[in-house]
Amino acid sequence: MIIVMKKDVKMEQTKKLKEKVENLGLKVMITIGEGQSILALVGDTQKVETEKFSREEGVEKVLRVQEPYKLASRFVKKDDTVIDVEGTKIGGDNLVYIAGPCSVETEDQIVKTAKAVKEAGAHFLRGGAFKPRTSPYSFQGLGIEGLKLLRKAKEATGLPIVTELLDSNDYEVINEYTDIIQIGARNMQNFALLKKVGKSNKPILLKRGMSSTIQEFLMSAEYIMSEGNEKVILCERGIRTFETYLRNTIDLNVITVIKQVSHLPIIIDPSHSTGRWNMVEPLSRAAVAMGVHGLMIEVHNDPDNALCDGAQSLKPQNFKRLVDNTKKIYEVTKEI
């Protein structure tokens, strides 16, 4: 349910109504548009009569949202959410590049790669310190030492950090070291973890689960937002289908769908989608042509000897070519 206030109603009046709603045991999120405020009611609103609030002074109308996701819905917030991370904006008409290795391995590796992707045009540095792997015998990451190396790379380049949170027990240390907290595909429906990061003031990069529907994807975003954190970035990284030629099947349709039904920014991870480095640039070009808000690319200074996902990692010179080519497409399509 949402309550649309009349134009130019004072915020004091809106806050008074918010308190009345909260006294019913509901959470309320206020969205401020062009001269008009919207109150999104979160919780069991089935027993709440719309007429109860329609009669309140300053209320223009009360509407029930049909989608199960409320806060993530374009119906609740018509304008795109734009998230500012240290001066770089994600969402709206912006295109950002997040680049770096699957895993932090050594100081030399992460600093060299960070400098290379920065020079090529990256806005953020990605790198895993705690890695979820299909096999328990595969490299699991350096843990806290990896976070410290990421910080050194940021100090050397100024690039904000994106790294994954696997376990609620690691929340405090991850929150201290990173600028954007990533929730991986395997944890997309770890609702306790989603609620935990919902209390953070850091942006959350939420990857789509490999077997999830778009509605389930948005419901996971809703879990985060319902705890008060509205800075959610959605990431498509491929879903599992009957096709086995590539690692996953990239769902480019999600770009158009998300932009229609949600105000949240959507980025694409073509590296995990295919598992093959020579497929990354073609998919990136297609995603940019469709209006994606960002690309998350695995880049390694020595992919042949990478401890994790070397086959899908670009060398720095190939990443530079990808950035140059996708920027050309971006400049053309943003005028359409």
DSSP codes, 62-95: EE---SS--TTBTTT--SPP-EEETTEEESTT--
The rounded Cα 137 to chain-centroid distance in angstroms is 29
Superfamily of 2-63 according to CATH: Phospho-2-dehydro-3-deoxyheptonate aldolase; domain 1 (3.30.70.1140)
User: Which residue positions in the chain have pLDDT lower than 70?
Assistant: 34-35, 131-141
Task: Please give the class, per CATH, of domain 83-333.
Answer: alpha beta
Place of tokens 């295109």: 95
Find the angle CA(142)-CA(99)-CA(71) to the nearest 5 degrees: 95
Please name the residues in contact with 172: beta carbons below 8 A apart, sequence gap of 6 or more: none
3-state DSSP of 260-279: HHECCCEEECHHHHHCCHHH
pLDDT of residue 307: 81
Residue 14 tokens, joined:
């809106």
- What pLDDT does residue 137 have? 46
pLDDT at 131: 60
The C-alpha atoms of residue 276 and residue 233 are separated, in whole angstroms, by 24
pLDDT at 190: 97
Of 58, 56, 23, 57, nearest to 41 (Cα)?
A: 23
The per-residue pLDDT for 50 is 76
Cα–chain-centroid distance for residue 262? 13
The residue type found at 39 is L
* pLDDT reported for residue 138: 53
pTM of the model: 0.89
Give the residue range(s) of CATH 3.20.20.70 domains in the chain: 83-333
